[in-house]
Amino acid sequence: MSRYSTRGILTRLSTIDEKLRQRYMIDAEDFNYLAERLVTNVPLEVKSIRGGGWRHPWYTSVGWDNRDEVFKAEIKPGYVNAEDVEVRIPAKDAKQETLDRLGIKAATDKTEPVVAELHEKPKIEILSRNLRKIGSDADPTGFKGNVDLSGGSFTFEPVPAYFADKGVESATPRDASFSGGIQEQFQVGGIPKSERRYLRAMDIVLTQERPASRAVWSDDPSTGRPTFSMTYTGSFGPDNNRVFISKRKKFVPQAEGFDPFQAVRGNGGTDPFDEIHVCTIYFLSQAGQGEGEDPDDSWTPYVEHHLFWNLNHGSNRLENQKFGDPVTFNIPLAGGIGTTLINNTLAENNARVQELENILNASQVTGKFWTT
């Protein structure tokens, strides 16, 4: 066992800790080793896998529900702009407080969705369709081709170091050759199958709705030429925009910024919402069990938190904006037009594109979360 492996470091530190607890003198070698570990392991970023006694906002706990035979999550209430956060759940998982607020005396259809608020302590069920596989039994997430186009290799989501140390093996590298069709070439893993453990995961995401700018192309009936204009989608004002929790197989951050030319190519604009990653929920199987299976009560849940504080949210547009007249493009309607006319048309449209880009940049709607 290497002295620099995680297990080796923990064993050595445990021995030193025991000596200190029993008030033994420690030798210089132990002291230097302890100092080296402290200096080289100062955390640059802190993420919680399991918490202590205090439960921060958005703290997520996961447990097995014997009645429905599924795992369910409960999120300690966090607030955005001091407003309650919603989550959609089946009526069977709603507390009486939720049903009373909604004016529902008794839910006749227990699977009918209702909107609960986090302070009502709703149970959020985690189904197999919500989960992704990570590790040796996972499906590829992508494909990276070789430069010479002879083939390539499948790519996989990496196993977090925390779970790799617990016996979850990374997905087997797969090479694909295009000669005679795609042929997958498997390599034997390093962890014996009887000791191998399997991993599932999902993400909890917080979404804040807001207005968005939208580019719209249309035909000018009077000229038959295409015109470009800007509009807003969504609603202005906090009372018209929901903030809610949702489940995702995999959280993908929103693209930053706004590509004007993407909007020029077709109807497009900014997203009418902002998202932030609350946590990732993992499920770890027992050793030698669980390959290709969905988690049951023998699996152990873990939560990696990414969000710890109540939030504020704001947008750069607080009220609807009136846009100017549409921009009209002069485009030839038939072939056989002279070169001079075409060049003049292109020059005019280039100027229109710059004008259009200026409109897009000035009218885009952005939003952000922050803490105080």
State the pTM of this model: 0.71
Give the whole-angstrom CA distance, residue 372 versus residue 167: 40
| Nearest alpha-carbon partner for 189 in 217, 170, 214 | 170
Give the whole-angstrom CA distance, residue 162 versus residue 147: 34
| Nearest alpha-carbon partner for 170 in 153, 155, 148, 184 | 155
CB atoms within 10 A of CB 78: 22
Give the whole-angstrom CA distance, residue 151 versus residue 218: 44
| Nearest alpha-carbon partner for 348 in 329, 324, 327 | 329
The single-letter code of the amino acid at 29 is E
Name the strand (E) or helix (H) holding 6.
helix 6-21
Give the whole-angstrom CA distance, residue 59 versus residue 50: 10
Q: pLDDT tens track of the chain, all 372 residues?
A: 445 555 666 676 677 666 666 655 666 777 677 667 665 665 444 454 555 577 899 999 999 999 999 999 999 999 999 999 999 999 888 899 999 998 887 666 677 889 999 999 999 999 999 999 999 898 888 777 666 556 677 788 999 999 999 999 988 766 665 554 544 444 445 788 888 999 999 999 999 998 877 766 666 677 666 666 667 666 655 556 789 999 999 999 987 766 655 555 555 567 788 999 999 999 999 999 999 999 999 999 999 999 999 999 988 765 555 555 555 655 544 444 444 444 554 455 666 667 666 766 666 777 889 987
Handedness of CA 37, 38, 44, 45 (dihedral sign): positive
pLDDT value for 54: 77
pLDDT value for 366: 79
Handedness of CA 48, 50, 53, 56 (dihedral sign): positive
For residue 138 the two structure tokens come to 């996972």
Distances from the Cα of 338 to the Cα of 164, 251, 278, 342, 345, angstroms: 68, 53, 60, 6, 11
| Nearest alpha-carbon partner for 93 in 80, 119, 74 | 74
Name the strand (E) or helix (H) holding 86.
strand 86-90
* Residue whose token pair is 């021995």: 15
For residue 365 the two structure tokens come to 């709607």
Angle between helical axes of 28-40 and 6-21 (0-180°, round to 10): 130
Q: What is the DSSP letter of 171?
A: P
pLDDT value for 98: 92
Give the whole-angstrom CA distance, residue 140 versus residue 156: 5
* Residue whose token pair is 């407003």: 83
Give the whole-angstrom CA distance, residue 134 versus residue 201: 7
